[in-house]
Amino acid sequence: MGSDPAKIKAEALSDFSKFIGPMKVRTMKAAGLDIIEDKREGASVWDITGKKYIDCQTGSGIMNVGRRNPDIIDALKKALDTYDIGVFLLCSKPKADLAKKLAEITPGDLKCTIFGVGGGEANDAAIKIARGYTMKKEIIYAEKAYHGHTGFALSAIGRDAYKEPFEPLIPGFKMVPFGDIEAIKKTITDDTAAIILEPIQGEGGINIPPDEYLPAVRKLCDDHEILLILDEIQTGFGRTGRMFASEHWGVVPDIMTVAKSLGGGIYPISATIFKEEIQDFFIPHPFIHLSTFGGSDLGCIVGMAVIDYIQKHNLLDHTEKMGRKFRAGFDSLLKEYPSLLLEVRQKGLMMGLQYTNESIGPRLTKKMAERGVIAIYTGNDPSICRLMPPLVITPEEVDFVLNALNDSMKELSKEAGLGKND
């Protein structure tokens, strides 16, 4: 293989197609996103051919502190002088340090942690803990929910297409509409162990619940001795302008799951954080849920560096400011392109653009890619574009994204097929 970037790219795409999956390459090419990531910095990523993109997808929110954040890289490099992954059965200082830090920064009396590698694993652990602790079986979850593709988490996904080929799944899972407290009331039984929700649905289309919803769910859980699991995997670590989205509504779950940005885009790690009384389940079963790579020493050191960075650089305030700047731009787009843009859903830098029909999402994704912005429609609904840039995005980069949106919409508004999608 030579050093010609175009040739390297072509070979990489060809090998990816042959050895990983042809439809992935085909889909990415069609969307103008057949990018081979090369240099990464802040809110930007460069294709191997040199084209620069502002990354508003960020692996659905794993890069809150920016891509290849130098502080996080330094922490990992320094850790490598001493540490490796560690032996999962043994106790470790980095694990203890991060668990203690998570207890400090999570709301209310969340205190104890089980570490994992990814978000699905964290939700698996949460659901297992809920069943084990309550000795009840039923789990209530929401339509359009996304909790990961592993066993228990998959059973709680609110999208049939992810589940149907693998049925029968784990029994005892009951789906309700998101945001509908009455539906939960009707679904609760004496055997309900937990309700699992995202405070704001990400994959589902940036669905923000009514203000009274989460507090009402909390009260229902208290009244019926049901555990509340909040999945903050996309919403956590400052994404919405608070350290955790549940803080917007003053709700403390019994179990919180976090992942994605805890690893700073550098090293995978997840955590299932729960109240102290739930620890009683583990006293007689200390080794009932294990993860070889979960909470590795290196991952825990990276997690600590991420939290330190967010706090030291006031990223929550910056997120609020950049969120307001985006909002002002979105308001102009709403006025300028009412035939394309129906609604904006936003908390901080968790943003969703609801288009007027489902053909627009894929088409705008392609046009944005042409203009140097990675902004992809959600899997659950192609009429919604999810924007989750790094929280370190600069005002100039926000303007760049907004200008790309404006230019893309201007071009699209002159094209065919914007009527009813039938």
Partner 1 sequence: MATSQDILEALADYQVQCNENQRLRKMQRDWSKLLHFVAEDTGDKFTMNVVKGEIISFESGTNGTPDIIVTTTSENFCDMFWGDLNPSQKYLQGEIRVKASQEDVVRLDAITMIIWPDA
Q: Give the nearest distance from C-beta 15 to partner 1 in angstroms.
A: 16
Q: Give the nearest distance from C-beta 366 to partner 1 in angstroms.
A: 5
**Minimum CB distance to partner 1 smaller for 89 or for 416:** 416
Taking the C-alpha atoms of residue 283 and residue 129, their distance in angstroms, rounded to an integer, is 12
Taking the C-alpha atoms of residue 367 and residue 385, their distance in angstroms, rounded to an integer, is 13
Q: Give the nearest distance from C-beta 322 to partner 1 in angstroms.
A: 30
**Minimum CB distance to partner 1 smaller for 91 or for 416:** 416
Tokens of 367: 């046009």
Pairing between β-strand 384-387 and β-strand 350-355 as defined by DSSP bridges:
antiparallel
Taking the C-alpha atoms of residue 226 and residue 385, their distance in angstroms, rounded to an integer, is 34
- Give DSSP secondary structure letters for 54-92: EES-HHHHT-TT-BT-HHHHHHHHHHHTT--S--TTS--
**Minimum CB distance to partner 1 smaller for 92 or for 354:** 354
Sheet with 37-41: list strands edge to edge.
37-41, 44-47, 52-55, 373-374
Helix (H, G, I), strand (E, B) or coil at 339: coil
Q: Give the nearest distance from C-beta 184 to partner 1 in angstroms.
A: 26
Under DSSP, the state recorded for 131 is H
Taking the C-alpha atoms of residue 348 and residue 318, their distance in angstroms, rounded to an integer, is 9
**Minimum CB distance to partner 1 smaller for 270 or for 359:** 359
**Minimum CB distance to partner 1 smaller for 165 or for 168:** 165
Q: Give the nearest distance from C-beta 122 to partner 1 in angstroms.
A: 26
Residues forming the site for partner 1 (CB under 8 A): 22-23, 26-27, 30-31, 161, 165, 358-359, 362-363, 366, 379-382, 412, 415-418, 421-422
Q: Give the nearest distance from C-beta 357 to partner 1 in angstroms.
A: 9
**Minimum CB distance to partner 1 smaller for 44 or for 359:** 359
